[in-house]
Amino acid sequence: MGARARKGDWVQIHRILLGPGERAPQVPPDTQAVPLEMWVKGFLVEGGELGHPATVRTVAGREVQGTLVAVRPGPGHDFGEPVPELLTVGLEAREFLKSVGG
C-alpha cells in the first residue's frame, strides 16, 4: 500500500501526454522515441494514494488529472556546485572599492 495524501495536501502528479512515436513528425528521432510527460504540482482535490489517479488544483486554479507521485514535494532543483573562483568575488570587490575610496 502506498502513502496516503489528504484533500488539500500539496502534491505532484505525472501524466504521459503523448507516447513514443505519437509526437509531431518534425521532432528529432531521439525525441520521438520517448514520451512527452507532464509533471504538475498542486493541491489535492480529494484524498488519494501514491501511484493512483488523482486530481490537483494548481496555484493558477486549473484542475489537472494524473498519477499521484509525491506528497509535499520540494522544489526539486538547485544551482549546482559552487564555483570556487566566484565565492570570494563579493569580498574582493568590497576591498577594491575601499582601496579606491568608493
Per CATH, which fold does 4-76 belong to?
A: SH3 type barrels. (2.30.30)
Domain coordinates of the chain in residue numbers? 4-76
Type of residue numbered 94:
R
H-helix or E-strand spanning residue 99 = helix 89-99
Mean pLDDT of 9-37: 95
* CA–centroid distance for 7 within its chain: 21
pLDDT tens, 27-75?
A: 999 999 999 999 999 999 999 999 999 999 999 999 999 999 999 998 8
Mean pLDDT of 10-33: 95
Give the total residue count for the chain: 102
Biggest CA-to-CA distance, the chain: 67
* Inter-residue contact 20 to 6 (CB < 8 Å): no
